[in-house]
Amino acid sequence: MPAWSQADLPHPVNLVLQEGQTVWKDPRGPLTQKARELGLSPAEVHRIRKNVGYVYCPGDQAKGGASLGTGMLVGNGDQVVTDAHLFIDPETNLRREPLADCRFINLADPSAVVRFDFTGEKTYKFYAPFPKAAWYNDRAIVRLTHRIPGADPFPFDLDEAPLKRGDPLIMISAEQKRLTFSMPQHHVSITSQDRRWVIETDVNNEPIAQACRVMGYYARTARASSVVYSDCNDTEGASGSVILIRKPDGSLAARALLTQGGIPAADYKPFKVGSGVGYDDLSFTLSIGLDANVHDDITMMERAHE
């Protein structure tokens, strides 16, 4: 498989507000309210809640600052896959130290706050040490200090069949700011590893969900992950949102993780593909593929801890 040159890398799809459209209904909503529209069974809703959660790093302002986004349990339920930039500040390329204070908060039981394990080279992998420059590999796998009870992670779409424009997607987020609707909340306390501080905060007690569609797709190469552009809506905090697809056999599979979006996507605007759009008018949502090589890395990390 040939390596990509810079010219080969996909560029953001230009999506602009439809002319004359002034009224817009937020297509996102709480998972339980969107389940029927998304074609999700009660068992699938429960499984999503069990395997999706918050990734929170309080960080040190001098060494990268705080971050908040979404992560998904993988493997045996004792690892999380998410965006690398939740652990590495994309502007400074500094890790959000101390990484030992980063936490995973499972949405099926928000009171269960679990630490990430950064104790050795075989407990985590950052695919992009410089996430902004290497946005096409902005993913991370990190082991948890203990397995989430009852975890039943979604399989990856290992076929990696090309996605076509218009193919349906399901976006799942633990968090997004500036929503046009309210979310049920749960209060949690997060204590630092050295017990010097405690953060009190509220988190959603169920995921945010949306039905959206593929706008563009690029298969992975030897250098870069697959890339999915979509009309999913994302506001602040959407990083790491899970992109699920429905396989021909009816099962759900994880296909990608949301990593960035264009500015109007954060202003609740509908989309259409356009050309000649200025930088400030770009509106897109970009997700990085959960490809077979990531699955292989997860398996190797599991074997290293058997």
The whole-number pLDDT of residue 264 equals 52
Number of independent structural domains in the chain: 1
CB 198 within 8 A of CB 103: no
Residue 119 lies in a domain: yes
Q: Which helix (H) or strand (E) holds 301?
A: helix 292-303
Residue 1 lies in a domain: no
pLDDT tens, N- to C-terminus, the chain (306 residues): 333 333 333 443 333 334 444 456 788 999 999 999 999 999 999 999 999 999 999 887 556 678 999 999 999 999 999 999 999 999 899 999 999 999 999 999 888 899 999 999 899 999 999 999 999 999 999 999 999 888 999 999 999 999 999 999 999 999 998 888 899 999 998 888 777 778 888 999 999 999 999 999 999 999 999 999 998 988 889 999 999 999 999 999 999 999 987 665 445 555 544 567 666 666 778 999 999 999 999 999 999 887
Sign, Cα dihedral of 22, 25, 28, 30: positive
Q: Which helix (H) or strand (E) holds 104?
A: strand 103-106
Residue 132 lies in a domain: yes
d(CA 246, CA 248): 7
Strands 208-218 and 198-204 come out as: unpaired
Q: How many helices (H) and strands (E) does the chain have?
A: 3, 16
Closest by Cα among 200, 222, 87, 219 to 142: 87
The whole-number pLDDT of residue 201 equals 86
Residue 146 sits in which domain range?
Answer: 6-303
Residue 188 lies in a domain: yes
Residue 272 lies in a domain: yes
CATH code of the domain containing 109: 2.40.10.120
